[in-house]
Amino acid sequence: MTQFEGELSPPFEIAEPADWRAPIIFNSPHSGSVYPPDFLDASRIDLVSLRRSEDSFMDELIADLSGRGFPTVRVNFPRSYVDVNREPYELDPRMFNGRLPSFANTRSMRVAGGLGTIPRVVGDGQEIYRERINVDEALGRIEALYKPYHRALRRLINKAHQAFGTVILVDCHSMPSVGVSRDEPRRPDIVIGDRYGTSCASLLPDLVEEIMSGLGYSIGRNKPYAGGFITEHYGNPASGLHTVQLELNRAIYMDERRRERSPRFAQVAADFTTLADALAQVPLGDLGPFQAAAE
pTM of the full predicted structure?
0.94
Residue 96 lies in a domain: no
Residue 74 lies in a domain: yes
In a domain, 293, yes or no: no
* Structural domain contains residue 61: yes
Structural domain for 230, as ranges = 12-79+145-286
CATH number, domain containing residue 149: 3.40.630.40
Please report whether residue 229 resides in a domain.
yes
In a domain, 56, yes or no: yes
Structural domain total, the chain: 1
> What is the full per-residue pLDDT of the chain (295 aa) written as tens digits?
345 556 788 999 999 999 999 999 999 999 999 999 999 999 999 999 999 999 999 999 999 999 999 999 999 999 999 999 999 999 999 999 999 999 999 999 999 999 999 999 998 889 999 999 999 999 999 999 999 999 999 999 999 999 999 999 999 999 999 876 667 778 999 999 999 999 999 999 999 999 999 999 999 999 999 999 999 999 999 999 999 999 999 999 999 999 999 999 999 999 999 999 999 999 998 887 644 444 4
Helix and strand counts by DSSP (H, E) for the chain: 9, 11
Residue 291 placed within a domain = no
121 is a domain residue? no
